Copies of this chain bind each other. A is one copy, B any other.
Amino acid sequence: MTEPVGTGTARSARPSPRVAARQADARRRILQAARVVVAEQGFAAAQIAVVADMADVATGTIYRHFPSKASLFSEMLRAVCVRELEVVRAITGEPGRRATDRLGDAVATFVDRALRGEGLAYAVIVEPMDPEVDQVRLDARAELAAAFADLITEGVEAGEFPEQDAGVRGAAIVGAFLEGVVAPLAGRTAHAPDRDAVSTEIARFAQTGVAGTPPGTRPDIRAVPSPTGAEP
Chain A residues with CB under 8 Å of chain B are: 28, 31-32, 35-36, 44, 79, 87, 91, 98, 100-101, 104-105, 108-109, 111-113, 116-117, 126-129, 131, 134, 138, 141-142, 145, 160, 164-165, 167-169, 171-180, 182-183, 186, 188-191, 195-215, 217-218, 221-224, 226, 228, 230, 232
Given A128-B129, A175-B179; 15 other pairs, CB 8 A cutoff: A100-B217, A105-B224, A108-B222, A112-B223, A116-B228, A168-B189, A169-B201, A169-B205, A171-B182, A172-B179, A172-B201, A172-B205, A175-B178, A207-B215, A213-B215
- By the criterion CB–CB under 8 Å, are B142 and A171 in contact? no
Of chain B, the residue at the smallest CB distance from A180 is B172
Look across to chain B and name the residue whose beta carbon is closest to the beta carbon of A165. Answer: B201
Residues of B within 8 A of A196 (CB): 223
Residues of the B chain whose Cβ atoms lie less than 8 Å from the Cβ of A221:
101, 104-105, 108, 200, 203-204, 207
Contact assessment for B215 and A168 in the assembled complex, using a CB-CB cutoff below 8 Å: no
Q: A174 to B168, Cβ gap below 8 A?
A: no
Q: Which residues from chain B contact A215 at a C-beta distance below 8 Å?
A: 100, 160, 207-208, 211-213
In whole angstroms, how far apart are the Cα atoms of A127 and B100 in the complex?
33
Q: A224-B109, A228-B117 are in contact. Are A177 and B172 (CB under 8 A)?
A: yes
Interchain residue pairs A-B with the least CB separation, the first 10:
A175-B179, A209-B209, A128-B128, A212-B212, A112-B223, A211-B215, A172-B176, A171-B183, A175-B175, A104-B221
Tell me which residues across on chain B come within 8 A of A186, comparing CB atoms. Answer: 138, 142
Q: When the two chains form their complex, are residues A105 and B223 in contact, meaning their CB atoms are under 8 A apart?
A: yes
> Is the pair B175, A218 in contact by a Cβ cutoff of 8 Å?
no
B109 with A202: CB separation less than 8 A: no
- Taken together as a complex, chains A and B put the C-alpha atoms of A177 and B205 apart, in Å, by 14
18 CB contacts below 8 A, A to B, read: A105-B223, A111-B223, A142-B183, A145-B188, A160-B215, A164-B205, A167-B189, A168-B183, A169-B202, A172-B179, A175-B178, A175-B179, A176-B176, A205-B210, A207-B215, A208-B209, A209-B209, A212-B212
